Every structure is written in structure tokens, then in C-alpha cells.
Structure 1
Amino acid sequence: MVRQASNSQLVDNCLTTAEYSELPGFSRNKVRDAYQLPNRRRLLISTDRQSAFDQVVAAVPYKGQVLTQTARYWFDQTEDICPNHVISYPDPNVVMVKDLDMVPIEMVVRAYLTGSTNTSAWPMYARGERVLYGHEFPDGMKKNQKLPTPIITPATKPINGGHDAPTTEAEILENRLVTPEQWHELAEKSLALFARGQELAAEKGLILVDTKYEFGFDENGTVVIADEIHTSDSSRFWIAETYEERFAAGDEPDSLDKEFLRLWISSQCDPYTEPIPEIPVETLMEFSGKYVALFERLTGLEFEKPDPQVPVRDRIRDALAKELPEYF
């Protein structure tokens, strides 16, 4: 039986770093720590670090485990559409993956006019822009309105930090980031993955609003989906039952995703010009609960919370020592 812990203890036990000196090729992004291993392998460890507005703002209990296990569910549910990079899962926070030649584009699919960051569709539209990511939008649309059909709004991935930058199919091809044939395949797979996500989410009373996909090419030139898929970090999920009523009233949808924290931060400051204040423990726990609730609702599985008395970092190290004994 897992022993109970206070909210403060849970926050204190968050995994904020997964750097292990025994392993080679360490690198870090906002959420994951990674290692480059021989034989075209990479080790990805999802920490509990939480990013928003392109910076790490807090650590959220269970976040890394939820992300890894949610992505695992979706990788399993979509492997008939597109192969994925997974080799094995040594630990609930860890995935061993194939090392790919990554495509320098994020394939963002949107089915609703929404968002709160500067590069999201709604803020761009609210500023008066009517051509977004190469797509024309009519006047008179409202925030959180459903689009006639899902669209791809790609972004170029930053090099050495920085921000994702909106782009278009025409610019991608003009700059030769991918070939026309590769773009067609990436777009086709992105829309097919999104359609599968919408279908399975709808069965659980959820709306898959938008998401981002990252792809790479394996040693044979095959398109492979990487990073994560349909998680609460990479996607928006709304509660279907209350969407229409809340949209008609001009209220924000009931959500189970990262937008909860973005909206909280935006209510406290301008995150682009002002420091983001410390997020209260109670807010972090409410946020954590949304991530766990999404996992359970999507998968139909009960989320197995780890023993709070065992440091997550130590548990992961033990799992890595078994998976990669040559380094430990």
C-alpha cells in the first residue's frame, strides 16, 4: 500500500533533474533529460518540470510519469498509422527510443480557434490577423469556435533555445526544410493521427482540440513519430459534455490539459514582460489532478501513484542500472 504524503511532500519529491553521471551524451530540454547511447538509441526521461510560455515555471507531482504513460497509450493506439520511436520502457518515467534524424518542424493540428500564447491561433486572430499559418479565416469568429475542418499550422523548431516560430507550407518548401514528397507524407500522417485521437477521445467524452507532432526519419528513411503524442502537454482536451453550453456563454471550456496553468499565469502577470510568480502548492496539485484525470479517462486504467517515501530519482536510477548494467 502506498503511504500518504502531504501536498508539500509530494511537490518536494518531484523529479526536477534526471542527470546521471554514469550515462553518456547528456542533454536537456524544458521537460525531458536525454542521453545519447550507442547503436542509434536515445534514453528519454520525463521529469516533473513544467514549462509554460517557453520557460520552466514549476515542478508538478506525477507529471513525468503521466506524460510517459499517456504517450505510451497513444503510441500503442496509433502504430498502424505511423511507426513510433519506442524500443522499451525501463521505468514509468523512462523510454528507450530509436535515434532519428529529426524533422525541423512541429506539425501542429488545430480543430478549434483557441489558445493563449502569442503563436496560438486565437491571439493572432484577436490581433486582427486573418491569414494564419497560410490559412484564411473569416471575420466574426469567436474564441474556442470549432473550425470547419482540422488544419495544419506548422512551426519551425528553435535551435539552441528560443521560441517556436509560425510558418507555412510554402515557406517550409521554399526553405527546403523537407521535400514536397516528405511534406505530403508528414501532413497526411498528422491528419490521420489527429483523426484517430479525436475518435478515441470522443468515445471517452473528450474533445481533442489541437496537438503537435514531431517526426523523424529512421536509417531507412521511414517517417517515424517521436517525442510524445496526445499528452496533456502537447495537446488540448476539453470535456465534450459542457463545451457547447460554455462556448455559448462565452466561458472557457472545461479542460484537462496545460491550458489551466497558462490561464492561471496569465491572470497573475504578463508572462512575456513580467516575472512569473511562484505557483501555490494547491494550484500545482489541482493541475496534477487534471493530468492524472486525463490519463485515467483516456486509457480506462487507474493511475498507479508511486510510493512518496521513495525518491523518484533513486527509483529511476535503479531501473536504469538494470536496463543498462554496462554503465552502472
Structure 2
Amino acid sequence: MKKIGVYTSGGDAPGMNAAIRAVVRMGVSKKIEVYGIYQGYSGMIEGKISLLQPRDVANIIQRGGTVLKTGRSAEFMKAEFRKKAADNLKALGIEGLVCIGGDGSFKGAHALWEEHKIPVVGIPGTIDNDIYGSDNTIGFDTAVNTALDAIDKIRDTAASHDRLFIVEVMGRNSGHIASYVGLAGGAEEIFTPDANTTVEKAVDRIKDSMQRGKTSSIIIAAEGQKPGRAYDLAEAIRKKSGLDAKVCILGHLQRGGSPTAIDRVLASRMGAAAVEALVKGQSDIMIGTEGPQLVTMSLEQVVKTEKKTSMDLINLATALSI
């Protein structure tokens, strides 16, 4: 293998740059030319591809976002545009790809392999940590710590004013961020898309805690299908209990910022492992983690299987909120 491509796709995540850096430098160390594909699948279709040298990825390991840019491509969902992308890659002699992204990105990568036999290895890069086959995804640790820092500050003002706050974190179909920051931030309740917490249960627990002398509370809510869910939740709580809940939506703040050491190390390990896998002739797989170890899983299995939120964390957070 003499030439490979690397691209980021879907939502950006802190640590993507560290992964790009690792792919480029590991590739160069193995006498492989590494091409950067800009703006994900859109750039692949439009031919926005250029050779990357080690100096091109200098001083990016600490930067959030992605120097290759990213996005979502509706065109790539159509077979004729996937063929155009594959033709662009083959014209440059690119023999393999490293895809850094989430579930949607991996579906596209799997289609490239199935339809055009372009070898591809996936690296899970998403703050949601919702990729099956990997305990951790690049960006998750940073997003959790960013949200936790905000929640700690909100708790200060909640305690000062004896108030109930609802903090909305990201997670359209995933409650991983909510469950982690809820436990780590000492939240009284956690609402996620797949948990069975109800407004009635939340109100009962908050009232019980008030009777025990608690003067302020924090509720963590994953955004669900649309940002702003926390306002609906606040109104429902007001109608059920008369309690006035203040709302704070963290939004895209959680996507940015310098990646934590954990995310930089994880991204570097995964990036290097992806290149090693291509060199060994592996394809249509994802590099994931199982405990401290790197593991591989077929992309077909990854995209067909849902990773559930851990109810153990939510139950523990509830038990410790007394």
C-alpha cells in the first residue's frame, strides 16, 4: 500500500486533529503517502483532496475541531455520487481510507467498501459515545469535562439562590453525556432519550429532598430530538409542582475546546492502529476500545447495533442524590 486517504465526517469532536496527526505521521513512517480529504464525503465527491506531510499536521494535537473540516452529505447517500467519490480516489491512486466519525460516517464508509472495494478503517470520533463496539469514542471525555465545568458553576448560583436548575446537554438519541455528567456533577435527576425517568418521579424526588433540607437541585437532560427540550421539561415541572426551574442549554459549547489528555492519547492510538490495520490488509472494520485494549469490529456490525446508555450510572446518581 502506497497511498491512503484520511477524512473527518459528521459532527466535529475534540481529538479529531490528534487522530489526523497520528494517521499522517504513522503513514509517513511506513513510506505511505497520506492524502487529506477536506469536508468529509462532500470533499470526496468534489475532489477536495491533497497530500499531507508531517509538517502539515504540526501543532494541531491540542486544537479542537478538525483541520480537514467536516460536514454531512446528502448526495453521498446516492449510489451515483458514491461512484463519483470512488472514481476520484482511484484516479489519485488512493488504495485505502481512514474514516474518523460516527455512525452515519461509518455507513458511508461501509458502502464504499461494499460497492467499490476501497479498503476502509473507521475511527469512532463523536462526543456522544454512542458507537457500538467501543467503550470510548474520541471527544467524549472532553465534552463531559466541558459540560461538568459548566454544571459546577451553575450549582454555585443554584445554591446561592435556593433554585432548581435544568441543564441541557447534547445527545439526540444518546444519554451517555447526560449520565456521566449527571453522576459526576451530583445531579438529582437525569433525563435521557432511553431512560424511564418521568416528570412525576422527578417532582416527587425533588419534593422529598426539599423536606430533608435540600435547598437547591440540578436536573440534567439530554436534548433529545430537538434542542430546547429543557424548556418543555421546566414547564411540565411547573404545572405538576409549582416549582420554578431555571434552564441552561449548553449546546455546541460541548463540541469545542482543547481535547483532554485522555482524548489525545486515545486519538493517537486509534490513528496509528488504523494505519497498521490497512497495511495488514484489513478492511471494513472499526478500531474500538475494550477496557484499556484496542479492538476491532466489522463496520457492518457497528452500524447495525445500538449502544445503550448505562442505566447503572443513572441509578447510582439517583441513589447518591439524597
Larger radius of gyration: 2
Normalized per residue, which structure has more helix? 2
Shorter-chain TM-score: what band? under 0.3
Normalized per residue, which structure has more strand? 1
| TM-score, length basis structure 1 | 0.26
| TM-score, length basis structure 2 | 0.26
Higher RCO structure (Cα 8 Å, ≥6 apart): 2
